[in-house]
Amino acid sequence: MSLRSFLVKRIAYTLVLIGFVLVFNFIIFEAMPGEVGALYACLGQPRVPQAVCQKLMQEFGYGQPVWVRFSDYLKAMVTFNFGISFANGQDVSYQIVNSGRLANTLLLLGTSTVMAMIIGTVSGVFVSRKRGSSTDTFSVVSSLTSFSLPTFFTGILLIFVFAVFLSWFPSGGTYPNSWDILGYPPLGQQIVIRLEYLFLPALTLTLFSYGSFLLLTRATMMEALSEDYVLTARAKGLGERAILFKHAFKNASLPLITNIALSFGFILSGAIITETLFDWNGLGKWLFDSIGYKDFPVMQAMFFLIALSVIGANFISDIVYGIVDPRIKYE
State how far the Cα of 164 lies from the Cα of 286, in Å rounded to an integer: 26
Give the percent of the chain with pLDDT over 90. 2
pLDDT digits (tens, 9 = 90+) for 206-219: 888 888 888 888 88
Q: Which of 125-129, 167-171, 263-267, 322-326 has the lowest mean pLDDT?
A: 322-326
Give the pLDDT score at 258.
Answer: 78
Average pLDDT, the chain: 78
Dihedral of the CA atoms 66, 71, 74, 78 (nearest 10)?
-160
Is 0.85 surpassed by the pTM of this model? no
State how far the Cα of 286 lies from the Cα of 271, in Å rounded to an integer: 10
The closest of 265, 249, 258, 257 to 310, measured between CA atoms, is 265
State how far the Cα of 146 lies from the Cα of 12, in Å rounded to an integer: 40
Burial of 19 (0-12, 13-18, 19+ CB in 10 A): exposed
Helix axes 283-293, 296-324, angle to 10 degrees: 140
State how far the Cα of 61 lies from the Cα of 73, in Å rounded to an integer: 10
Do 84 and 94 meet the contact criterion of CB atoms below 8 Å apart?
no
Q: How many alpha carbons lie under 13 Å from residue 121 in its C-beta half-sphere?
A: 18
Q: Specify the higher pLDDT residue, 212 or 131.
A: 212
Asked if residue 327 has pLDDT above 70, the reply is no
Domains and CATH numbers, the chain: 1-100+295-331 (no CATH), 104-281 (1.10.3720.10)
The closest of 67, 69, 79, 78 to 35, measured between CA atoms, is 69
